[in-house]
Structure 1
Amino acid sequence: MTDTASRTGLDVEALRAATPGATLAHHLNSAGAALPSLAVLDTVIEHLRLESRLGGYEAAEAAADRSAQVYQLAGELIGAAADDIALVESATVAWHRAIDALRLRPGDRILAAGSSYVSSALHLLELRRTRGIVVEVLPADSSGGVDLTRLEQALRTPAALVTVAHVPTSSALIEPVAQIGALAAAAGVPLLVDATQSVGQLPVDVRQMRAGILVGTGRKFLRGPRGTGLLYLDPALRERARPLTPDVRGARWTGDEEYDLLPGARRYETWEASHALRLGLGTALAEALTLGVDAISAYVDGLAARLRAGLRETAGVTVVDPPAAGGGIVTFVRAGEEPTTTVRTLRAAGLHLVAVPASHGQWDLGRRGLPAVVRASVHVYNDDTEVDALLAQLARLASPTAPTAAPTPAVPGPGSAPAQAPVPVPVPVQALAPNDAPVAVPALVGGAGRRADVIVVGAGIHGRSTAWALAARGARVVQLDRLPAGHTEGSSHGRTRMIRRAYPSPVWDDLVDRAYTAWHEVERAAGRRLVTTVGGLYARPARATSTLRGPDCVLVDANQAAGILPGLVLGDDMVAVYDPAAGIIDAAAAMDALTELGAAAGVRRRDGCTVTGWTPEGTGVRVHTDSGDLLADRLVICAGAWTADLVPEFADQLTAVRIVNIHIGSSTPALLSPPALGPFSVEVPGVGLLYGIPAYGPDPVKVGFDHGPVDDLSARPGPVTAAERDALLTVARRFLPAADGPVTAEVACRYTMAPGNRFAVGALPAYPQVLVAAACSGHGFKFGPAIGAALADLATGVPLPDLDFLAPSAIIPGTPSRTAARTSGPTAHRR
């Protein structure tokens, strides 16, 4: 426990454990959307399930008491009565309804702080343009906050409203809201406080602020669901204001041309709302009140102050917070780098921050001459290790290249030449791409000039993911592949693969979570959709003992399965695991996207270059190729079926087998497309495992067996034979009656199988500078970006103890492994 946590009494470890997303990345973006707790998530899901069973109206009635409590909790948090609170969809919705209710007239003056949020400012500018409202932006004093003297002077002229953001989106400024409120109250002018970035992390009391209106959101420091917001109106002001668009929720129709507004702030609500989200907000409010806002504020402020101080000591980084900064937000820039680039690089390293452009705060950033800033924001589920991780990554990006270490004699090792052999002259890294300028980034361990940081061998899904992840972290990466681009001799070609949460052992669950998150990151970086969730079924005979399981997965019988995916027909003697998160990966698009992302990040790739071996050289490695030698600080081997050629210890453990897939047409294609069919597998007694992926894009349903004969790596995979085709058709049509059309396409590929269908990810025991991702065993594609990120972490010195169960030592004979016994190999579902 940190000193700050100890002083505030917060159990940060418990808070992190109760926050599912806290273990997936360093989430430093609470000012954007904080990570909700598991209790919030469960509340939302529980009510949605209740709606599915009872209906929306009936579920709302059943939860009426809990819904009413949300108003009480919100009022308690901000020092108001429950009747003064309206629940809305966002802070912006709250702002619009409150401003509209004031019924402003041409010539009315609004005094707005420079801290105003973009959506608020845009609304004010539109009111000026269309209604003749006078908008005056208040100047700031030397602290960065509203100049109180100038405000007092401005209030000597009649005004309709003063508005201020307690904490702006563009910095860590804390406005002197209580003093502003006192001046406004003395002048008889209502104050509108935007507490979007403060409620949940700072004490907020509408009475002390003298606020007539306060707006806030649930998704930021309150840790509530997105799509929730708060609106407070002072009772006295509420009597003078009227909603511009009354709704049945807040008004009663009493006659042909008459209606009455209901008492309280709920007159600003609408009938249609997400009760599940509002109940989730109630859970978040209760959690904040239980922890205590003062304790939250002290912890968050202390952690942010530690980050701010560390950033000021980091080369190339400038903190741009104003003097009146505090709370959980810190803003900074890196010299010579666009904030969006900084954020993209940090995101690839597992650090989630955002860039705030001046277009989100022209009255702040624009006037300070800042085109954009990087914003970090911490919460109670963050700790010192995450602050240290950000500081270390920024220091790594800024550190100068270390001098080249003196060469050391070669130590005989896997793929090495005899010790007495002459040392070949290294081929300069830049020679692989002579038209490219050298990349000015630091080496990871020693090394300078033309020495690469990392050489990645292999350009399949794991190789491309690893190369991109490393380059995005600032490493100089050279990627080599023995075959031409676009070849079909490995395991990563073809249009589609499946992704699923259903696995036989809980030991895989964390990696599966990482996989889903990593694919989302690739999609965001590439700007295209790569994963489509449709739900899947994984069937077996009811008497079989082997089964899959996983988060949110349920066991169903044949009748239930038919209701879920009617395109798959199972016998009454079968059961299935339904995985609602199962989906389809657009594998071809994913491979292209990773290539493009890697190239944009600086990966230097050379296809048709065979690596013949490698030799440890000090703390680095010399890589031998058919074009000469290369030097690097790290070597990452993602060579698929050819891994054993470079890691002889794996030779007796890895087996390349031939796998075939066929696409089958249908007279009723809708039955073989989502939602009638999703990814599936069936354990067929006497045959083996049949797996399939539904029709996707122009391709009809695809099926295959997960087993096959040992393949000859010296030759290209031969075409699918008539016997292979007929065997697949016979079994597929047994379970997919709608697959009554011709075979439209065929493909042969290779699985690289390891004992127990596992794979090896990590450093070789004897050579920590050499890492490997090997033996996909038919189920590795779905983990591609997650394994790439993991290898990048390991290569840059970030330990990942939760991946110890995949340590290469577990499949190297004679090497002790403390985790091998914990693993249980999954049934393979590759395509």
Structure 2
Amino acid sequence: MTDSASQNGPAGAGAEPADPSPVPLDSVALRAATPGATLAHHLNAAGAALPSLAVLDTVIDHLRLESRLGGYEAAEAAAERTADVYHLAGRLIGATGEDVALVESATVAWHRAIDALRLGPGDRILASASSYVSSALHLLELRRTRGISVEVLPTDGSGGVDLDQLEQALRQPAALVTVAHVPTSSALIEPVAQIGARVAAAGVPLLVDATQSVGQLPVDVGVMHADILVATGRKFLRGPRGTGLLYLGPALRERARPLTPDVRGARWTGDEEYDLLPGARRYETWEASHALRLGLGTALTEALALGVDAISAYVSGLAARLRTGLAELPGVTVVDPPAAGGGIVTFVRDGEEPTTTVRTLRAAGLHLVAVPASHGQWDLGRRGLPAVVRASVHVYNDDTEVDALLARLARPTATGVPTPPPVPTPPSVPAVSEAAPPPSAVPPATTAAPAPAPTLLTGAERRAEVIVVGAGVHGRSAAWALAARGVRVIQLDRLPAGHTEGSSHGRTRMIRRAYPSPVWDDLVNRAYTGWRELEQAAGRRLVSTVGGLYARPARTSSTLRGPDCVLVDANQAAGIAPGLVLGADMVAVHDPAAGVIDAAAAMDALAALGRAAGVDRRDGCRVTGWHPDGAGVRVHTDSGDVLADRLVICAGPWTADLVPELAGRLTTVRIVNIHIGSSTPALLAPPALGPFSVEVPGVGLLYGIPAHGPDAVKVGFDHGPVDDLNRPPGPVTAAERAELLSVARRFLPAADGPVTAELACRYTMAPGNRFAVGALPAHPQALIAAACSGHGFKFGPAIGAALADLATGVPRPDLEFLAPAAMGVDGVPPGDWAADRVNPETPSPIAARTSEPTAHRR
């Protein structure tokens, strides 16, 4: 007999039927309580869901307790709370706390349970086609080494286990049946209750892999007839990585024994004797992360408070909306089987590898994952799918994020981007190549001048959706972020690639969380996230976290603070960074998150990623001015005019030439750095030294970056004379070198060697050391990222993403404190451009097309 396919839905998925009218969830509040939800569209709960702030705080608080008391003492202090985790887990799956073991992962739980069965030659295992890769690999290895028999159960038209075939298979003796409630490779929901009833009737143990279901679907081991259940904490439970659950029913525990007993689960009673402790905890090991287990307890508490029925109703509804929307998109195929449900959706895009789809979406701030057939050969392999894209939603997601994904997928693939038809014109002036010499000095351009007669253009080569002026860290970040979203980008830089006349050259920069005001904290968080995402896209490490110290005379008020930053005296500072020697009259802010950015590698990575995404980079192409052209812009260059919907100006020291409203507010100063050798280089490298700064009375701010890679320690002053932009920065002078050496060696005694390298660069300073990031009030089709006052490199990827958001119509209210208007740029620039102004409320043409919602040296 065969149960109807409708029984495969959530209500019949192996748990008691869901409440038909659960209390609606407050997704706005849940989103606000999830720090990561504000940084990207995270649609990968089936991989690792975003934890709540409460979970994060629980883990960190216990780690701090361990640092103060010691690991054993902290565990004793948290013993009652740890014991509660077992009872919370039991409540969630319809068991008792005694039935649950806390382990490191679902795979560890699986291995310990299977090993406890002591399977041997001839033992027959029936496994669902939905089995996870690690489970299948373990079974195949046991077949090879222990002679067990492994049979994959057939599926029916719904995609789940064929119940009639299961009954036939159970007519022969079997040692175990194992089924994945929800596989990693699709949104299938196996009819576990019906499977369990048949398996129990045959007297065979049932192992349920609830890794992808617990936390998003009702799970009850009694209704499932499960003897073993394994699950992870990091997915829909929203717990920390490195946590998992193992359930073993009391009846099975009577005849199964752990293969590797540990002091945690057994008592050594004599020379050759030991007793196993009662309950499932006999499968645990003594060594474990108590902080992570407590974090899991907080996640379990939150899930139970919300109610699994309410969670299930919300995520299932949101995923169903996404599934419907995907099915309506040309070129997108939903590949979920008929028995799909819950919070997961899988699909493929015509003519595009799933890994490419995921990489493109990730660059656009949409986090999904590609699942290859190697993670589910019994499912994807047998269905002829080399890989799929998997989206998975949770309670912190909402309709706007579904809309954002659908809008992004509605755009053509990289191989099918339409281009505008060519405009018949005379031959164009060829773009300047990377080998072109630097342009000669010319009088500064001004946007206030009357627009010159337009140069005739040649179709797509002279037309972009966004023009980015400048190829420093912010220009490259913005160009990549835009192109990765499918926007046609032309990037212009006045000088050849690799020049040293701006502010983004050099090998290293500093990154830190210590900042003067909390208003910066969100942008700092976005910066750290942006660097991690850039590292992932580039496939290389770009940031080394080593901790930093920022010192000042004790008599002056503190200017730096930040998350996890603490004020230390000179003795404490010496213990943290013995390479930096402060006087007794000094105090310092210790920032454990401070680190070193490999700036040169980052610039190379941004350029390469931009090219791969389609950025049309034109170095040695000087912009001589620009003016509004209807709702767009016309940019004048020494190679001709270029039109675009939006203009992004990241021109560094030359910003005031292109934005004369800023001319009286910006000052460009000369900054020099030197690298100093040492007879004891270990004292000037991590962990003996991290990024640092010292407020030196009568001198100013000395800053430094520890020895990194082949480079010796780098030092510089955070001030300098006004620089002449009409001339390249000259070499470091003997006087500049001598002054830096003298001051640096007061605080770095180990810097006793020669100067090994030196360079000059430019800071573009603004009042209050602020930035200007956003649209020009008089011309909102033009955006700027300017005047970063010497501390802008660390924000590169975050500023690039922000500019991409703003250029495509995504509001960024978090950046209002850096808006150009906040720097006093609030009126029409010199010259009457009123007739050319666009309405600030006019939507971005790019946004209308996409329909998408919403180092530093010192």
Query: TM-score category by the smaller chain?
Result: over 0.9
Distance 1:698 1:513 in 2: 29
Contact 1:192 1:213 in 2 (8 A): yes
Of 323, 326, 333 in structure 2, the residue corresponding to residue 308 of structure 1 is 323
Cα drift, residue 90 of structure 1: 0.5
Contact 2:777 2:826 in 1 (8 A): no
Are 1:453 and 2:465 counterparts? yes
Distance 1:799 1:5 in 2: 38
Number of the residue aligned with 2:625: 613
Number of the residue aligned with 1:235: 250
Q: Superposed, which structure 2 residues align to 1:204-243 within 5 Å?
A: 204-243=219-258
Q: Secondary structure at the match of 2:626?
A: strand
Contact 1:8 1:298 in 2 (8 A): no
Residue segments in structure 2 that go unaligned for 5+ positions in a row: 1-18, 425-444, 829-854
Number of the residue aligned with 1:802: 814
Of 469, 475, 483 in structure 2, the residue corresponding to residue 463 of structure 1 is 475
Identity of counterpart residues, as a percentage?
85
Q: Secondary structure at the match of 2:758?
A: strand
Cα drift, residue 591 of structure 1: 0.7
Distance 2:487 2:229 in 1: 47
Contact 1:5 1:12 in 2 (8 A): no
Distance 1:506 1:586 in 2: 26
Cα drift, residue 397 of structure 1: 4.2
Of 103, 109, 116 in structure 2, the residue corresponding to residue 88 of structure 1 is 103
Q: Superposed, which structure 2 residues align to 1:553-592 within 5 Å?
A: 553-592=565-604
Contact 1:455 1:479 in 2 (8 A): yes
Q: Secondary structure at the match of 2:63?
A: helix
Q: Deviations over 1:595-628 (max 9, x none)?
A: 1111111112121111111232222222211111
Letter in 2 for 1:105: G
Distance 1:402 1:584 in 2: 41
Are 1:31 and 2:43 counterparts? no
Q: Secondary structure at the match of 1:240?
A: coil
Deviates more, 1:175-184 or 1:349-358: 349-358
Distance 1:226 1:563 in 2: 32
Of 154, 162, 180 in structure 1, the residue corresponding to residue 177 of structure 2 is 162
Letter in 1 for 2:790: G
Q: Deviations over 1:620-665 (max 9, x none)?
A: 2222111112222222111111111111212111111000011111
Distance 2:473 2:67 in 1: 39
Cα drift, residue 545 of structure 1: 2.8
Q: Secondary structure at the match of 1:570?
A: coil
Contact 2:22 2:309 in 1 (8 A): no
Number of the residue aligned with 2:269: 254
Number of the residue aligned with 1:705: 717
Cα drift, residue 215 of structure 1: 0.2
Of 634, 639, 644 in structure 2, the residue corresponding to residue 622 of structure 1 is 634
Residue segments in structure 1 that go unaligned for 5+ positions in a row: 408-412, 431-449, 817-827
Deviates more, 1:745-754 or 1:308-317: 308-317
Number of the residue aligned with 1:476: 488
Number of the residue aligned with 1:286: 301
Closer, same or farther: CA 111–250 of 1 in aligned 2, 3 Å: same
Distance 1:344 1:364 in 2: 24
Letter in 2 for 1:353: L
Number of the residue aligned with 2:15: none
Cα drift, residue 572 of structure 1: 2.0
Distance 2:145 2:475 in 1: 57
Distance 2:503 2:341 in 1: 52
Number of the residue aligned with 2:167: 152
Number of the residue aligned with 2:447: 415
Number of the residue aligned with 1:793: 805
Distance 1:195 1:56 in 2: 31
Letter in 1 for 2:196: G
Contact 1:427 1:628 in 2 (8 A): no
Distance 1:552 1:336 in 2: 47
Letter in 1 for 2:582: L
Are 1:681 and 2:708 counterparts? no
Q: Secondary structure at the match of 2:714?
A: strand
Q: Deviations over 1:131-184 (max 9, x none)?
A: 221111111111111111111111111111111100111111111000000000
Contact 2:446 2:657 in 1 (8 A): no
Distance 1:572 1:395 in 2: 63
Q: Deviations over 1:49-77 (max 9, x none)?
A: 22222222222222221111111111111
Are 1:425 and 2:456 counterparts? yes
Number of the residue aligned with 1:394: 409
CA RMSD of aligned residues (A): 2.0
Distance 1:525 1:402 in 2: 27
Cα drift, residue 428 of structure 1: 4.8
Letter in 1 for 2:90: G
Closer, same or farther: CA 156–813 of 1 in aligned 2, 3 Å: closer
Contact 2:34 2:53 in 1 (8 A): yes
Number of the residue aligned with 2:550: 538
Cα drift, residue 750 of structure 1: 0.3
Letter in 2 for 1:307: L
Using the size of structure 2 for normalisation, the TM-score is 0.90
Q: Deviations over 1:246-279 (max 9, x none)?
A: 1111122222222222211111111111111111
Q: Secondary structure at the match of 2:753?
A: coil
Distance 2:165 2:682 in 1: 69
Closer, same or farther: CA 528–402 of 1 in aligned 2, 3 Å: closer
Letter in 1 for 2:509: R
Contact 1:622 1:630 in 2 (8 A): yes
Q: Deviations over 1:261-307 (max 9, x none)?
A: 22111111111111111111111111111111111111111111121
Q: Secondary structure at the match of 1:771?
A: strand
Deviates more, 1:47-56 or 1:581-590: 47-56
Deviates more, 1:67-76 or 1:174-183: 67-76
Q: Secondary structure at the match of 2:348?
A: strand
Using the size of structure 1 for normalisation, the TM-score is 0.93
Q: Deviations over 1:769-821 (max 9, x none)?
A: 221111111000000011111111111111111111111222244449xxxxx
Q: Superposed, which structure 2 residues align to 1:666-677 within 5 Å?
A: 666-677=678-689
Number of the residue aligned with 1:443: none
Contact 2:471 2:492 in 1 (8 A): yes
Q: Deviations over 1:346-391 (max 9, x none)?
A: 1111111111111111111111111111111111111222222212
Number of the residue aligned with 2:128: 113
Are 1:131 and 2:146 counterparts? yes
Letter in 2 for 1:513: N
Of 630, 645, 650 in structure 2, the residue corresponding to residue 638 of structure 1 is 650
Q: Secondary structure at the match of 2:762?
A: strand
Q: Secondary structure at the match of 2:257?
A: coil
Q: Superposed, which structure 2 residues align to 1:519-538 within 5 Å?
A: 519-538=531-550
Cα drift, residue 406 of structure 1: 11
Q: Secondary structure at the match of 1:452?
A: coil
Contact 2:778 2:827 in 1 (8 A): no
Q: Superposed, which structure 2 residues align to 1:29-68 within 5 Å?
A: 29-68=44-83
Of 17, 25, 28 in structure 2, the residue corresponding to residue 10 of structure 1 is 25
Q: Secondary structure at the match of 2:702?
A: strand
Number of the residue aligned with 1:20: 35
Q: Deviations over 1:516-554 (max 9, x none)?
A: 000001100111100000111111122223511111111
Cα drift, residue 125 of structure 1: 1.1
Distance 2:385 2:228 in 1: 30
Contact 2:820 2:826 in 1 (8 A): no
Number of the residue aligned with 1:436: none
Contact 2:125 2:151 in 1 (8 A): yes
Contact 1:167 1:175 in 2 (8 A): yes
Distance 2:822 2:63 in 1: 43
Distance 1:400 1:498 in 2: 39
Number of the residue aligned with 1:267: 282
Cα drift, residue 316 of structure 1: 2.1
Number of the residue aligned with 2:857: 830
Contact 2:421 2:460 in 1 (8 A): no
Q: Secondary structure at the match of 1:8?
A: coil
